[in-house]
Structure 1
Amino acid sequence: MSSIKDSLTAEAVQDRVNELLLSSGITYKEYVLGFAFAVYGLETYLSWRQYRKYLEPKRPKNLADIVSEEDFTKAQAYGADKSRFDFIATAYGQVQTVAMIVYDGLPLLWDYSGSLMYKFGGLGPEYEITQSLVFFCVYAIISTVLSLPVSLYSTFVVEERHGFNKQSLSLFFTDLLKGHAIGAVIGLPLVAAFLWIIQSAGKNFFFYVWIFMVVFQMIMITLYPTVIQPLFNKLTPLEDGELKSDIEALASRIDFPLKKLFVIDGSKRSSHSNAYFFGFGKNKRIVLFDTLLEHSTIEEVCAVLAHELGHWSMNHTLKILIVTQLHLLALFWLFSLFISNTALYQSFGFSTKPILIGFILFQYIYAPVENVINFLMHVYSRKNEYEADAFALKLGYAESLRSSLIKLNVKNLGNFNPDPLYSAWNKSHPSLVERLAALGVKPTSDKPVAVAEKDDKKSQ
């Protein structure tokens, strides 16, 4: 037992990893660059496969009773447009990443942060936490400036061209400034506490950091919908009427502890649709996007909520939360094995070993594991989606869920023609065709579901 324990010490792990890299003739930096190019190549190949599917002009036969030729063509055009831009945006991001690594951008920014700290505060490198906060701000500003052209083009060209963007430039930049202000108010104390715990807790810091992060996440889950989200969107109580009565009856039927029903003004920024619930224990709240209510019948809205409540009934959210926390604990433990690895810091141009920089570098080398975990989480999430659909089916919403899924896909110009490999790697939800096949519901007519039928009983 003692030999096994000794082999798992930080020093032993560092020495073993360093030996493996040395014997292979590569440095940490070369390893990170090699993996970055490998992932970029894989994801570009998968995106190209999907792009070719978007270029197919004819609607597949299995979609004949699902979507009209006109709506299929619109969705294909939207998907192809986004895909073409994604090739450019991804390449742009790859160039930034490679340049940051090759030209030692991190040590340059770290040294610049130190010079700012000394110039305006007279503080030296012994104030590592303060320098880390300055670095955090400088890095965030540069990242925002570099990503701004991509965000603007995506919002005001791609999304607007296909009728989704509802934002003005002033709202876009207002949201951006609000987001950064909130990020500073929350992020700076978080980073400072994170670094202080690591400095103070010794070799077993990973456990204390994990406990701190769990508490922080629980607080944020509580505060976000009631404090932060209202800064961006307006939530109003759902008016009394048939829709509210039917939702309350659905909640009562499955003992869902519903306290309040809200409508959110999602149309303020986009015409995409959604619905969700939040809250702990017996204090649940349901939020409906106004865009969902615009094109759905009462039965269809209830079907969408039945799916969401299926996640609650089968504890999917709790299970994912537990898995996420275990993953976070493992991440911090592995970081504790690399935090003092001198070879790692030196490979990226550092002569000192700042904790925040160490965590960034560790995430670089941990990336292969993270990619595998993300894929496995997609597999698990897809399983949960099928189970939630089955839950709604058992509640008697089979046909309504089918029509609501199709309407949402049509309204959002979703992907009707997915490439299976691209979808498996990138998407946490099954495609529409896969979900409809799993439901096993036959259409009541051969006519594709329309976004809004004149004889539909509307939800408002």
Structure 2
Amino acid sequence: MINYESRHVSLAWLIILGLTVIFAFLYLVSALFPAPIDPSVAKYFSITLAEKARTYNYTPRILFIVNFCLQVVLLSWLLFSSKGRSLFQSIQKFTKNYWLVTLLSVLGIWLISTLISLPFTYFSGYYWQKIWGFSTQSSAAWWMDYWKTTGIDLCISLAGGIIFFMLVNKASRSWWLIGSLLFSIWLVAEYFFWPIIVSPIFNHFKPVPDSAIVSMVNDLAHKAGLNVGAVLEMDASRQTTFANAYFTGVGTSKRIVIYDTLLHNYSLPEIKAVIAHEMGHWRHNDVIHGLLLGMAGGFIVFGLLTILLKPWLPKNSNKPPQLWAALQLAVILLLFVTSPIQNAVSRQMEQNADYFSLQLTGNLPAEIQLQEDLARNSLADLTPPAFIVWFSYDHPPTLARIQDLVQEYHSYH
């Protein structure tokens, strides 16, 4: 029975690690050696712009996969190397209190992982954006936001670590089921409270002050048969020149948020197309669907963890602190190899919202102009590598969005 179970555990790890190696290799190769720029770009953009966008996106892609690989190496080293094991032994020698050992282990792994990611986060999130003219923050302001984000992440990690060890020690058979239920509750709480508690820590939100836009929102909502509550302006310009909008929240926290960079720098027809797109997410209940899919994914992941973590789940004894490193490794690998599924669902939602926007506004030129301006102003890769699109794009690429909009428009005209 033990050998049978061990074979299943080994096979599960082998499959996940194998897929990870394949995906990481293909991503790196695609990032390093992208195909030549598609000449069809010239229909909407200049080749010079396409080359500039390719250059802008080149380095962050490489850094993303390098950072991911370093995280995998770190966690593997902690789990399987003698020096990694000695680190946990040192913590256990420091104190005999099991829960203090657990807390220090969770904190130690979080700290090492955060320090490894820090240079990548700073380079891609601030330095690279600054030299390309996208970041509007000072170095001090960026660091302030970084420490806020890091503090929130630390609190969530410590709380999650303690709850996880309580579950595996007190409910050794049903921990994964209870964990799945708690994760589902957390998702609902996050969707509800994040927009009204966490987001205001970083930005200021206020009702859109422009009466013309308010009137436009009301007209679109009436036409769409929606009871739209809050449409808020976010002061994104304190951080970036990028323009964006998003739909978030559940229940009474539902809201459409529009960047001030979009409101101030884009034409009224383009803003109308954006708002109609977000109403498409509202009409299609995409947040609820995303929530339900997240819950279902949580049950699947926790079920797989019962297999992957078995070597670190001894029966009738307190679970070792190395279990946290095993959990972190298993989770980041599972999230990595399932990225294509998650992003395919997201791209379909975005495409449907584009179609809804087009049907609601009936203004194909404005829809196309919006995609063109968004791409120009953010230097979106106009002909991204196919594998990277399949693996990591949560929105369709710009040219695909334009072509789909044109096709959709002609299909009912």
Task: Please say if 1:412 is aligned against 2:383.
Answer: no
Alpha-carbon distance, 1:298 to partner: 1.8
Q: CA deviation at 1:143?
A: 2.3
Which residue of structure 2 lines up, in the alignment, with residue 450 of structure 1?
none
Give the match for residue 424 of structure 1.
390
Aligned to 2:116: 146
* Residue aligned with 2:230, SS: strand
Change (3 A) 1:244 1:153: same
Q: 1:14 aligns with which of 5, 8, 15?
A: 5
In structure 1, the gaps of 5 or more residues are: 1-6, 22-27, 119-123, 346-351, 444-460
Q: Structure 1 pair 107/308, CA: closer, same or farther in 2 (3 Å)?
A: farther
Percentage of matched positions with identical amino acids: 22
Confirm or deny: 8 A CA contact 2:187 2:291 kept in the other structure.
no
- The 1-side partners of 2:156 and 2:74 are apart by 29
Q: 1:78 to 1:192 in 2, by over 3 A?
A: same
Does the aligned pair in 1 maintain the 2:134–2:240 contact within 8 Å?
yes
Distance verdict in 2 for CA 1:333–1:254, change over 3 Å: same
Q: Verify: 1:76 aligned to 2:51, yes or no.
A: yes
Looking at structure 2, the residues matched to 184 and 369 of structure 1 have their Cα atoms a distance apart, in angstroms, of: 21
Aligned to 2:204: 234
Cα distance in 1 for partners of 2:16, 2:64 equals 21
Which stretch of the first structure deviates more once superposed, 430-439 or 246-255? 246-255
Is the contact between residue 210 and residue 332 of structure 1 (CA under 8 Å) also seen in structure 2? yes
Asked if 1 retains the 8 angstrom alpha-carbon contact of 2:278 and 2:353, the reply is: yes
The equivalent of 2:359 in structure 1 is 394
Q: How many Å separate the matches in 1 of 2:376 and 2:122?
A: 25
1:64 to 29, 32, 42: 42
Q: For residue 272 of structure 2, what is the aligned residue in structure 1?
A: 302
Q: In structure 2, what residue type is equivalent to 1:73? A: T
The answer to whether the Cα contact below 8 Å between 1:14 and 1:338 also exists between their aligned partners in 2 is no
Structure 1 residue 96, shift from structure 2 partner? 5.5
Question: Normalising by structure 2, what TM-score?
Answer: 0.85
Question: In the alignment, which residue of structure 1 is the partner of 2:259?
Answer: 289
Greater Cα offset, 259-268 or 37-46: 37-46
Answer yes or no: is the 8 Å Cα contact 1:13–1:337 preserved in 2: no
- Secondary structure (helix, strand or coil) at the match of 1:286 reads strand
- The Cα RMSD (Å) is 3.2
Question: How far 1:320 moved relative to its partner?
Answer: 2.5
SS at match of 1:258: coil
Identify the range of structure 1 (211-220 vs 252-261) with the bigger mean alpha-carbon deviation.
Answer: 252-261
1:187–1:365 CA distance, 2 compared to 1 (3 A): closer
1:262: how far off? 1.4
Contact 1:166–1:271 at 8 Å: present in 2 too? yes
Structure 1 residue identity aligned to 2:48: T
Cα contact 1:311–1:384 (8 A) shared by 2: yes
- Deviations, residues 244-289 of structure 1 (Å, cap 9, x unaligned): 1101221232233322221111111111111112232365322110
Number of the residue aligned with 1:42: 26
Letter of the 1:237 counterpart:
P
Q: Which position in structure 2 is the counterpart of 1:223?
A: 193
Alignment of 1:123-138 (within 5 A): 124=96, 127=98, 129-138=99-108
1:382 aligns with one of 347, 370, 392:
347
Cα separation, 2, equivalents of 1:404 and 1:149: 34
Which runs of 5 or more structure 2 residues have no equivalent in the other structure? Answer: none
In 2, Cα distance between equivalents of 1:89 and 1:422: 12
- Comparing both structures, which one devotes a greater share of its residues to helix? 2
When residues 337 and 148 of structure 1 are mapped into structure 2, their CA distance, relative to the original with a 3 A threshold, is closer
- TM-score (normalised: structure 1): 0.77
User: Match of 1:64, SS?
Assistant: helix
1:75 is displaced (CA, Å) by 4.8
By how many angstroms is 1:203 displaced?
A: 0.6
* Partner in structure 1 of residue 62 of structure 2: 87
2:216 to 239, 246, 256: 246
